[in-house]
């Protein structure tokens, strides 16, 4: 069976951007940017992207493009020993685990989108009401399970259609929709009374807020935002032609992902400041603060619907990318059909995600290491497995495969680019061999709590 490929360079860019753009871009980045110096944090974040995020992204895509197989086979071929199949399987497992609890969280977004369409959010006129409403929904097990099932069904439906007709076509439709909605929200926020205060708050650099903690957070965000360490980019890279320019294919993805984070911050800050409210952190921003804001601004119903549609699109494009490495593995290693692989992967992630979906209701009092099941899965993958997977990928490329071999492969399809800008080779030599692996260690140590 011939291996699937992207129909065009644009197909890869939209699919990879869909994977990179997720919930963290919209509900986490605005908070941390505003809390750690606004424009100053954004500049530090961009530097971190150059030193860790972009080179690791390139490394993972290069592994896939050079081998045209799933992460398990790709790691083993590049590493040239059976040992390296284990890290490949580890990143596949990571993506599968992420897809299980991510669906449970994305189910809340889908649920709130339905609530927004029904007009229920328009009745929330105070933070106390919003908090109580959110608690009631989270405490309803059928609400959480129902939308978990619905979200997973939608994700599998896209994956069943294949790489070109499913993932690529789906992202070519959903990503432009996401950017259009985001642009509408930014314009709406800027035109609201008081909206410019939010713009000024975000874009005024406060260098005193750039503490060691802020730098560590910027490092972590720059690493986690690109779906690294979970087999996605290795798998997506494996669908690329060997003659495709990896550098110019990957750079737009990083720029698109960064653009969503910055414009989401603009939308959130301008809309929130128009109501005299400073954005809160994490889920509180989405479920406690913004519903109150939507009920108090002109056209709030439509803004609420658009906002939760925006976050839903970000969630589902990331979800399908987290599941694809498992599907590719089952097809490459065991010769399963895509239909069988997608259905089994979807069913497995659905069942494994049930405890996460019930972590705010029936299972909220059941903990391990003082964590409910959802938080345990999240901490296991984001604090340990993803950094380990990203570290092993960059070590494989820079130290096992070797920089000369990696650069030789990277130049394929981009000979003119390297000839015109020879410094690019020096940049990848330094970042892949030194800055990326060292900084990933800092991300890992910070994630497991060593620095606090």
pLDDT of residue 319: 98
The answer to whether the CB of 69 falls within 8 A of the CB of 77 is yes
Residues of the chain scoring pLDDT < 70: 1, 279-283, 452
200-211 tens-digit pLDDT: 988 899 999 999
- The structure tokens 């439906």 sit at 157
pLDDT of residue 279: 67
11-48 tens-digit pLDDT: 999 999 999 999 989 988 998 998 899 999 999 999 99
- The structure tokens 């360079």 sit at 9
Q: Please give the CATH topology (third level) of the domain spanning 9-447.
A: Hydantoin permease (1.10.4160)
pLDDT of residue 386: 97
Structural domain boundaries in the chain: 9-447
Spatial CA neighbour of 320 closest among 115, 106, 147: 106
Q: Rounded to whole angstroms, how far apart are CA atoms 274 and 197?
A: 8
Quote the crossing angle between the two packed helices 338-357 and 300-334, to the nearest 10°. Answer: 130
pLDDT of residue 127: 85
Q: What is the pTM of this model?
A: 0.96
pLDDT of residue 285: 79
Hey, what are 49's tokens?
A: 């992207």
Q: Residue 371 forms beta bridges with which residues?
A: 368
Strand, helix or coil at 241? coil
pLDDT of residue 280: 57
């Amino acid at each position: 069976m011939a291996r699937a490929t992207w129909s065009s360079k644009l197909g890869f860019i939209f699919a990879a951007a869909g994977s990179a753009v997720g919930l963290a871009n919209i509900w986490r980045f605005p908070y941390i940017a505003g809390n750690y110096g606004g424009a100053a944090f954004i500049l530090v974040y961009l530097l971190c992207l150059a030193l860790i995020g972009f080179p690791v992204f390139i490394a993972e895509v290069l592994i896939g493009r050079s081998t045209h197989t799933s992460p398990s086979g790709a790691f083993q071929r590049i590493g040239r020993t059976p040992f390296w199949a284990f890290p490949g399987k580890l990143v596949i497992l990571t993506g599968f685990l992420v897809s299980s609890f991510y669906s449970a969280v994305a189910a809340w977004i889908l649920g709130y989108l339905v609530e927004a369409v029904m007009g229920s959010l328009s009745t929330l006129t105070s933070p106390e009401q919003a908090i109580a409403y959110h608690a009631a929904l989270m405490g309803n097990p059928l609400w959480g399970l129902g939308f978990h099932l619905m979200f997973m069904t939608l994700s599998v439906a896209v994956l069943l259609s294949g790489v070109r007709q499913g993932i690529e076509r789906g992202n070519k439709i959903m990503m432009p929709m996401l950017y259009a909605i985001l642009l509408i929200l930014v314009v709406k926020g800027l035109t609201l009374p008081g909206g410019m205060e939010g713009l000024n708050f975000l874009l005024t650099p406060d260098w005193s807020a750039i503490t060691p903690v802020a730098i560590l957070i910027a490092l972590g965000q720059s690493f986690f935002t690109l779906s690294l360490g979970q087999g996605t980019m290795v798998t997506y890279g494996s669908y690329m032609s060997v003659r495709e320019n990896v550098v110019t294919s990957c750079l737009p993805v990083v720029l698109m992902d960064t653009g969503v984070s910055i414009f989401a911050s603009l939308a959130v800050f301008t809309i929130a400041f128009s109501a005299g409210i400073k954005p809160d952190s994490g889920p509180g921003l989405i479920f406690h603060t913004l519903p109150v804001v939507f009920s108090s601004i002109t056209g709030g119903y439509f803004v609420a619907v658009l906002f939760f549609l925006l976050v839903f699109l970000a969630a589902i494009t990331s979800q399908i990318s987290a599941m694809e490495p498992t599907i590719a593995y089952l097809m490459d290693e065991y010769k399963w059909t895509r239909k069988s692989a997608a259905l089994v992967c979807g069913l497995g992630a659905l069942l494994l995600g049930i405890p996460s979906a019930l972590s705010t209701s029936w299972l909220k009092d059941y903990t391990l290491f003082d964590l409910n099941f959802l938080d345990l899965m999240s901490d296991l993958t984001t604090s340990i497995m993803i950094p380990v997977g990203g570290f092993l990928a960059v070590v494989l490329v820079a130290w096992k495969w070797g920089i000369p071999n990696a650069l030789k492969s990277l130049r394929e399809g981009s000979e003119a680019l390297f000839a015109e800008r020879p410094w690019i080779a020096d940049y990848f030599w330094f970042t892949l061999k030194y800055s990326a692996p060292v900084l990933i260690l800092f991300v890992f140590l910070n994630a497991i709590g060593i620095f606090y």
